[in-house]
Amino acid sequence: MIDTLNLRLEKSFSQSDLNDLRNRLDDPGEHFPQDGYFITGRLKNLSITAGITGLSIKKGSLAKYFLNDNIQTLTRSTLEQAINQLSEELELSLNQAKITRVDIGCNFLMKFKPESYLHCLLECPSYKRKPYDHGVYFGHGTKTKVFYDKIEDCKVNKVEVPVICKGRNLLRYEFRLLGRIADFFQVDEFTAKDLYQEANYMKMIDEYHRQYENIVKKKTLSPDIPENLTVKSFKDYLFNLAVYELGSERAYQEYNFFKKNKKFKQAADASRAKKEIKKVFSGDKMKDSELIEELNQKIKALKFNYR
Tell me the pLDDT tens digit for each residue of 184-217.
999 999 999 999 899 999 999 999 999 999 998 8
% of residues, the chain, pLDDT over 90: 55
Domain span at 241:
220-287
Sequence-distant (≥ 6) Cβ neighbours of residue 71 within 8 angstroms: 107, 150, 154, 161, 162, 165, 170
173 shares its domain with 207: yes
Q: Which of 52-56, 152-156, 239-243 has the lowest mean pLDDT?
A: 239-243
Q: How many domains are there within the chain?
A: 2
Residue 307's pLDDT is: 52
100 shares its domain with 113: yes
pLDDT digits (tens, 9 = 90+) for 85-111: 999 999 999 999 999 999 999 999 999
134 shares its domain with 203: yes
Res. 32 pLDDT band, cuts 50 70 90: confident
The conformation of residue 225, written as its DSSP 8-state character, comes to: -
What's the whole-number mean pLDDT along residues 251-258? 88
- Report yes or no on 293 lying in a domain: no
160 shares its domain with 279: no
Of the spans 21-35, 41-55, 268-282, which averages the highest pLDDT? 41-55
Give the span between the Cα atoms of 201 and 219, in whole angstroms.
32
- Report yes or no on 62 lying in a domain: yes
Least Cα distance to 54 among 95, 24, 106, 97 occurs for 97
Q: Which residue has the higher pLDDT, 248 or 62?
A: 62
280 shares its domain with 252: yes
pLDDT for residue 284 is more than 70: no
Element (H, E) at 220: strand 219-221
pLDDT digits (tens, 9 = 90+) for 153-167: 888 888 888 788 888
- Report yes or no on 134 lying in a domain: yes
- Report yes or no on 292 lying in a domain: no
230 shares its domain with 252: yes
pLDDT for residue 220 is more than 80: no
30 shares its domain with 162: yes
121 shares its domain with 266: no
pTM of the model: 0.79
75 shares its domain with 224: no
Res. 224 pLDDT band, cuts 50 70 90: low
Whole-angstrom Cα Rg for the chain: 26
pLDDT for residue 249 is more than 80: no
61 shares its domain with 181: yes
136 shares its domain with 245: no
Give the span between the Cα atoms of 58 and 7, in whole angstroms.
7
